[in-house]
Amino acid sequence: MPNWPDDLTTCTLEEIFSSEIDNRAWYKELRLQNTALVNSRLAKSISQDEYAVTRRQTTEAAAECKRRGAILLAATITVDPSNSPRCASNHAPFFRNFTKTPLFS
């Protein structure tokens, strides 16, 4: 579980983005752990009880990770409203560049 600032209102946009990157890395790690857990159970390396306990812990951690992700997104929008997913001007340069690049050759 990555470090979590107590008060996001005092964080800069860069600090919030850094926390968002850490949160995404943590979520990826949780997915990899979950895959390894399922594979261990399928290989019968662990008992059903051990699987259930670990799966519950992983599910709780993933829920916390998603909750933090939502808070970070809200904080990003609060600090800089132009980062809102609803702000078309924020994404216009991406779409402009994307349409110039052929998808298939």
Amino acid at residue number 6 = D
Higher pLDDT, 44 or 1: 44
What pLDDT is attached to residue 83?
Answer: 55
Q: What is the mean pLDDT of the chain?
A: 79
Question: pLDDT exceeding 70 applies to what percent of the chain?
Answer: 70
Say if residue 89's pLDDT is above 80. Answer: no
- For residues 66 and 14, what is the distance between their CA atoms, to the nearest angstrom? 20
Higher pLDDT, 103 or 77: 77
Indicate yes or no: pTM above 0.85.
Answer: no
Higher pLDDT, 87 or 42: 42
- For residues 38 and 41, what is the distance between their CA atoms, to the nearest angstrom? 5
Say if residue 84's pLDDT is above 90. Answer: no
Higher pLDDT, 2 or 4: 4
- For residues 77 and 34, what is the distance between their CA atoms, to the nearest angstrom? 31
